[in-house]
Structure 1
Amino acid sequence: MRLRTALLGLASALALVFSVSTSAYASAQGQFAYLYIDENGVQQHAEESEPDLNECMDLHALRTSNIATSSVHNITDAYADVYEDKSCQGTKTTLNPDPGGDTAPREIAVRSVIFRAADSGS
């Protein structure tokens, strides 16, 4: 009986130690696609696949320059809070989760984004 109680206690302790909140490490399912004009004036296409939730992300293709997007499409199952400046600074616009691709207005230059779970609301 003591062995069973000890094993149950050990199993419970291990479950608590190794349990991790899945939402803290979750990813949005789908892609965040965008167009931008590169330094040579040529339009390029880029995308971020299955981006992490709740983390500010500078758009990969734009990280080393001051250029911005000409078009963005949220084709994920999460809200995308897009920002005009890097490091999620500046004006924020929220794009809805949309398998068909919710699109930011063309006049908004996007340089960074945070994805939020769809059940978190807007």
Structure 2
Amino acid sequence: MRMRSTLAAALGALLLSVALPASPAAAADGEFVYTYVGLNGLNLRGTLPDPDSNVCIDIPETVGSNLPAFAPRNFTDSTATVFLDANCNGDVFYVMPPGKRLGDRLRFRSVVFS
């Protein structure tokens, strides 16, 4: 009798866990747009669509490059903090409210969304 009750409880718990949707990772809705210098020396546009929140994101085109990205545009619904250094390190950073567009002179290598 106990075996059946235990088995039924375990089966019920399994079915319940399968039926409940997994909670999605928190993300900023929208697009973060920036400019970077491509291999050919031309300015190119980069984007981070719906970036994860509370995760430092190194700008892919700046990894291994001497040139940082520039001209960030925060078209997300979250605050973006851009850092001059990779891995969101250093004391040179700028906080961008949602919808903020900055000039071409701001340089950065990483960003985190809150």
User: TM-score, length-normalised on structure 1?
Assistant: 0.70
- 1:83-120 deviation per Cα after TM superposition (whole angstroms, max 9, x unaligned): 0010101211100011xxx123433211000000xxxx
Please name the residue that 1:69 is paired with: 69
CA RMSD of aligned residues (A): 2.9
Please name the residue that 1:110 is paired with: 108
Aligned equivalents of 1:97, 1:73: Cα separation in 2: 9
Please name the residue that 1:95 is paired with: 96
Find the structure with the greater CA-based Rg.
2
Structure 2: tracts of 5 or more residues without a match: none
Task: Give aligned pairs, total.
Answer: 106
Aligned equivalents of 1:88, 1:104: Cα separation in 2: 19
Aligned equivalents of 2:47, 2:40: Cα separation in 1: 20
**Which aligned segments of 4 or more residues in structure 1 are displaced greater than 4 angstroms?**
18-22
Aligned equivalents of 1:62, 1:78: Cα separation in 2: 23
Contact 2:70 2:104 in 1 (8 A): yes
Structure 1: tracts of 5 or more residues without a match: 117-122
SS of equivalent to 1:103: coil
- 1:15-74 deviation per Cα after TM superposition (whole angstroms, max 9, x unaligned): 7xx89776xx20000010001122432111110101000011101222232211231100
Identity %: 31
User: TM-score, length-normalised on structure 2?
Assistant: 0.74
Which protein has the bigger strand share?
Answer: 1
